[in-house]
Amino acid sequence: MFGKILIANRGEIACRVIRTARKLGLWTVAVHSDADARALHTEMADEAVHIGPSPVGESYLRGDKIIAAALATGAQAIHPGYGFLSENPDFVDQVTAAGLVFIGPSAASIRAMGLKDAAKRLMEKAGVPVVPGYHGEAQEIVLLASKAREIGYPVLIKARAGGGGKGMRRVDHPDDFSEALSGARREAKAAFGDDRVLVEKYVDKPRHIEVQVFGDNFGNAVHLFERDCSAQRRHQKVIEEAPAPGMTPALRKAMTEAAVKAAKAISYSGAGTIEFIVDASNGLKADRFWFMEMNTRLQVEHPVTEMVTGVDLVEWQLRVASGEKLPKTQSEIALAGHAFEARVYAEDAAKGFLPATGTLHHLRFPDSAPDGAAMRIETGVQAGDAIPPFYDPMIAKLVVHARDRNTALAALREALARTEVAGSTVNTAFLASLAADADFAAGDVDTGLIGRHQDALVAVAAPSDEAIAAAGLAATDAGAPGPAADPWSSLVGYAHFHTLARRIRLRYGEENILARISARPDGRFQVALEAPHDAINAHDLRNLPRTARWPGHVTVFEGAVSHTFAAPDPLAKADEAAAATGSLRAPMPGLVKLVRAAAGDAVIKGQPLLILEAMKMEHTIAAPHDGVIAEIAGEGAQVSDGTVLVRFVEDGQT
């Protein structure tokens, strides 16, 4: 086994690999760009090496810098994670030429499966069923159009390189073929630098079912059953599960045997996934599945396979790459229970799933699983982190496991309802709607399900009056429970001769909301809202929705749905003052909970610097302008109102 490995990736997958490496007693090296200098994976690793600016082309795709970092730190092997350089055979060659081990398949195996057309020709020779279509080299439009007519419409034009739905077009009529081909080629060229395509029969009700395979360097190969990844938007996976709902013994046997056959055809070593397209128009049948492509790496959705088999796939990767045989034979791998994975993204589902950015001022995941279920949270971020525009905007993967599909699905819904993210638009409401969709719940899922139900799935109701009341209370700090030992907490709302009241203005989208909050002598509150809202009597704060306050805003959580209101915030005044001076002062007494920068760091406006725990909440203090930090408060410091938290280097200073 290796003594030290380098992880050539970032985010949740880097953290995932580090956890298993630590379990095995291996030392780990993280690499990072400018944007990830204080990211979670750099904090978790034993060492961290800077490899360049934030854009991926200048950092995470720079194989030479990654290899240099491995050699400089004494790492013996490189784990690529997924994405970036994980399926780049030239990088694999460079790693091995440097005397390092690539924790994954050989460059030859990656090349064999790297182009869809060549891979399908190879699979045909190996006896693996492939989708009827044209997978040849000729690319003349006349020939491609002729092949489309032979196949029979509808057809699917697909880029032969890459994936993720890019360079893909469905064509229903011959008159539309030319325009669709041009669009697919332009997109493929921009995404992959290769505009060549293949043409396949379009399956009317396609299921995306994939098989996890694993091989070693001794000729052994096994499968770890199947995953269903049919719940997709824009050809990208959203919720995955294992095993596939409705799977028959006959189809599972045929599909897993074909997957192992495919792996052995290229002498595959390491973790890989054989992806199949399945025609579900008349149930799942053993003669209605076809090879689509192979991913020669670990998949994003690998945790669901781990949950139903009890196998740590990253551990297997490390063992096989270090020269060991597969830890288990096929007969020793069993399937138990059902698992789901939901991908929580910073994206706006209502706006076509556009990626979002922002700062994660508040981030909270469920701390336990419902009865009868197990849960794990895969994340690479923490509260206070900014979501940079350079990378995939994934926040976390919620993974649940239970004895059967219904129990697991109920656990997934609860996990989504208990996930809280404030500071960026997220897709938790969409995921919860999908998990509650009648067809999805029944297992009647195909790749077109989200598209057919999209309007309903992305619709979010306006905040309830209870949510507005909760926002008003949070914005004024009314009703915030104090420590049991604090004698002043019992005086909240106290007045000698009249009821105390405070007016607060909130803004939700384009709507201005005026709330009047009255504090009663007994510690209860009444919130009166202007029409068209009803008066809300907030007698029992425990029954109100959960809230998170962050600079200038309050986010209210109603199940998996979040509503963000603009609201006054004392930190805004601190930012304004700091913008005109060389220091950043505490706007209120508090505890410095977390420091995310250091003296000498060059920071940009809006970058999180530290988290101040004050008023029984955590507030992210961000840089009010670009500059260089001269001094910064230490973690654990108790500060008073006006204490200098950060001092910046003034112009002309060194």
Supply the residues annotated as catalytic: 297
Kindly report the CA angle at 76 between 73 and 82, in degrees rounded to 5? 95
| Spatial CB neighbours of 253, under 8 Å, sequence gap ≥ 6 | 286
| Spatial CB neighbours of 317, under 8 Å, sequence gap ≥ 6 | 79, 103, 104, 270, 271, 298
Among candidate residues 131, 114, 156, 338, the one with its CA nearest the CA of residue 241: 338
In which element (H, E) is residue 490 found? none
| Residue 54, beta-bridge partner list | none
As a whole number of angstroms, the distance between CA 4 and CA 460 comes to 48
As a whole number of angstroms, the distance between CA 480 and CA 502 comes to 15
Phi then psi for residue 416, to 5 deg, are -65, -40
| Spatial CB neighbours of 333, under 8 Å, sequence gap ≥ 6 | 222, 223, 224, 225, 309, 311
CA 489 from centre of chain = 40
Terminal Cα distance for the chain, rounded = 48
Which tokens hold the place of 119? 């891979």
Query: One-letter amino acid identity for 590?
Result: G
Among candidate residues 576, 528, 531, the one with its CA nearest the CA of residue 551: 576
C-alpha distances (whole Å) from 14 to each of 11, 45, 340, 426, 470 are 6, 9, 21, 22, 38
Longest dimension (CA), the chain: 90
Residues 73, 49 contacting (CB under 8 angstroms): yes
Could you count the other beta carbons within 10 Å of the beta carbon of residue 545?
A: 21
Beta strands 27-33 and 47-52 are: parallel
Among candidate residues 329, 274, 226, 229, the one with its CA nearest the CA of residue 126: 274
Specify whether the backbone of 127 is left (phi greater than 0), alpha (psi in -120 to 50) or beta.
left
In which element (H, E) is residue 66 found? helix 63-73
As a whole number of angstroms, the distance between CA 264 and CA 256 comes to 12
Which tokens hold the place of 247? 């799977």
Query: One-letter amino acid identity for 574?
Result: A
Could you count the other beta carbons within 10 Å of the beta carbon of residue 489?
A: 13
Beta strands in 128-220 (DSSP E): 133-134, 155-159, 168-171, 197-201, 206-215
Beta strands 270-279 and 289-295 are: antiparallel
C-alpha distances (whole Å) from 448 to each of 299, 545, 573 are 22, 34, 49
Specify whether the backbone of 472 is left (phi greater than 0), alpha (psi in -120 to 50) or beta.
alpha
As a whole number of angstroms, the distance between CA 299 and CA 303 comes to 9
In which element (H, E) is residue 307 found? helix 302-309
Which tokens hold the place of 320? 């096989």
Examine residue 206 and say whether the peptide bond preceding it is cis (omega within 30 degrees of 0): no
Query: One-letter amino acid identity for 425?
Result: T
